[in-house]
Structure 1
Amino acid sequence: MKNKQATGLRRIMAFPVTDLTEKLQGWNMVSVQLGYDDRTYVLLIDEVPERDRGAFIQTELKRSPTYKVLIVDLRLPAEKGDGEARVREILIEGETFHYSYVQPLGEELLLVGARSYYYGRDDYDLNAAVFSHEGRPLRRFLLGDGIQDVQTTPGRLIWTSFFDEGVFGNYGWERPVGESGLIAWDRSGIRVFTNSEADIADCYALNVVSDEQVWFYYYTDFKLCALSGPADRPKASFLDPKRSGSASVVTDGYRFLMDNGYRERDRYTLMRQEKPGQLVPREEIIFIKENGEQLRNGIADARGAKMLLFEEAKLYAFSLGELDG
């Protein structure tokens, strides 16, 4: 599919809202995600685990690593570049599982591993663990193998999207948990919703706006789907963004910002829904740092109309209102 072209290119100056260089010293980055509470959640590990046979990600680790969670409370300034951030640090020790994501879950923290091995009947990795803010483990459960993304809600729902191995099976799973491509769970890992609306082979992008609004973008149809209403019985509607391979979507329901896909993840297109079911591209956007270089190869995440970019220990935050004001 050829991406439909926007009308022009706009360069937006990006100023970091906080610099985490000191907090990251001696640690290895695992993931950076937005929470439903407007905070940024950073997962760090003291030593990157080796891959099993050089290729497969370990789940149960040979040594017990130390994880550090940074909870970054951003206060976006009136003057760009004058931001302050309150950062809380939580150490999690004594774990032997390989975690990939961290999200808030009410007054608790949810850590999730992207991979889970199936060893036999009733014998598999429990790849989700809930911790207190003191780092104490509270409960564990299975969320399935091949997890692409995890986002939680104020009502303590856990949404998991899956990449192709989680949909079609690997790591011993003949019938994988994530075969539907998208699942919602309650705070204890009980399934609330299983996707049957979209034929997902790989869920490329997830944006959980609230307890009753979720957007996702998927292969092979390259469509955007909106789920609206209670998670156990949502209504689905679809939009065609006319682009392939995007990894992020930022939206307020009318305006949409998506990266340009497989070979242009650092360029974005701003679109508007001007006709039912169709998105019209308005302009392309690239983000420029203070030194004049383009923001590239960073980590991007989105919640509703808010977007987070992370590169070289610096956090950049934007909203659609700022980009299309």
Structure 2
Amino acid sequence: MTPDRHAIRPATFARLPRTYRDLHIMHSTVDAFGRAHWLLTERPPESRREKPYDAVVVTVEDGRPYETYLSSVAASFPSFDALPDGGFVVAEPRSRAHEEHVQVFDALGRLSWTFRVGDGIEYLLTDEAGDLWVGYFDEGVYGDDELSWPGLRRWSHTGEPLWTYRPVDGASEISDCYALNVSGRSAWACAYTHFPVLEIRPDQGVKSHANKVRGVKGLAVHDRRVALFGGYGNDHDRLVIGELTDTGVTAVTEGRLVRPDGTRLGRRRLVCRGPRIYVQEEPFTGWEVLDISLQPDRSMAH
């Protein structure tokens, strides 16, 4: 039996204003600059063959909301993120080889670019320069689209391939990108099957840190501290705080990430940015945040 664990509570971060809560939430994210975004429509598309639809992105920055209207959105079940120039990228996670399933919109909501990045998108996160980091799940990695086979790639916002993961010492091929953190121009990832913590810096390549925590779905990093969130079965809300060494992760404390009221988390979305893990539960109208840079070691364990 798993012993009781210390409860670790996130803080309230952003809320979708009530004015918009009669609209349908297609997706929501937190970008590289700490702005929360909701992609909203009047009615959800009924299928992949639905004609393009109009949508509105509601952005909450420092508690203040503003709108960006997008025309001719094609994705039925979109992933999306914001670009530093005020534009947005929207993608359909599943696609066929002939489909340009990624759309880039400018700051006025006009369609600027379409291209493809491969099938089986698990994560689509932009960095502060506007590049797209895409992590793929197993059906993409082992599917027919060779763009997805590496498991993790970086693309320009115009669809140019910029970087492709290749196995390094201590880390084999990616079978499924379970967790992805994008901050600044760098990324961190944790992938099936052995879940090494991958440190990816454009100017330094990839460094692997051996890790014994399995099923990690989110991670945060600050200096040499790392937080690993998630796991299988009853460990779905596990939070392990550890220290990064040159070659591995040394676990220090273990707890559960809970709701601000102390009850256990249910179905949720995660976005990981540097030292922060953003958590959003159904009905997906709000974001909570755990920032490990603000938490002394002892407070993380109580």
Q: Among 29, 44, 52, which residue is 1:48 paired with?
A: 44
Point out 4+ residue stretches in structure 1 off by more than 4 angstroms: none
- 5 Å-filtered alignment, 1:22-33, equals 22-33=18-29
1:100 aligns with 2:74: no
Instruction: Say if 1:147 and 1:163, in contact at 8 Å, map to a contact too.
Output: yes
Deviates more, 1:311-320 or 1:273-282: 273-282
DSSP 3-state at the match of 1:321: helix
SS at match of 2:40: strand
Q: How far, CA to CA, are the matches of 2:117 and 2:245 in structure 1?
A: 38
Contact (CA 8 Å) 1:256, 1:271: kept in 2 or not? yes
> CA–CA distance in 2 between the matches of 1:70 and 1:208?
22
User: Does structure 1 residue 317 correspond to structure 2 residue 295?
Assistant: no
State the one-letter code of the partner of 2:66. R
Query: Aligned Cα RMSD in Å?
Result: 2.3
Structure 1, residues 143-187: CA drift from partner, whole Å, max 9, x if none? 111111011122221111101111111xxxx34311010111112
1:75-154 alignment runs, 5 A limit: 85-98=63-76, 100-107=78-85, 108-118=87-97, 124-154=98-128
Determine the structure 1 residue equivalent to 2:205: 235
CA drift at 1:253: 4.2
Secondary structure at the aligned position of 2:72 is classed as: coil
Per-residue deviation, 1:242: 0.9
Q: In structure 2, what is the Cα distance between the partners aligned to 1:50 and 1:220?
A: 35
Change (3 A) 1:65 1:262: farther
CA contact (8 A) 2:119 2:145 kept: no
Q: Which residue number in structure 2 is paired with residue 54 of structure 1? A: none
- Contact 1:112/1:129 (<8 A) preserved: yes
* Corresponding residue of 2:50: 62
Unpaired stretches in structure 2, ≥5 consecutive residues: 298-302
Residue type matched to 1:222 in 2? F
Q: How far off is 1:296 after superposition? A: 2.6
Normalized against structure 2, the TM-score is what? 0.86
CA contact (8 A) 1:41 1:102 kept: no
Identity %: 22
Map Cα deviations across residues 195-229 of structure 1 (whole Å, 9 max, x no partner). 11240111111111221x21111111221111123
**Residue 296 of structure 1 is aligned with which of 266, 275, 278?**
266
Say if 2:214 is the partner of 1:244.
Answer: yes
The 8 Å contact of residues 71 and 111 in structure 2, kept in 1 or not, is answered as no
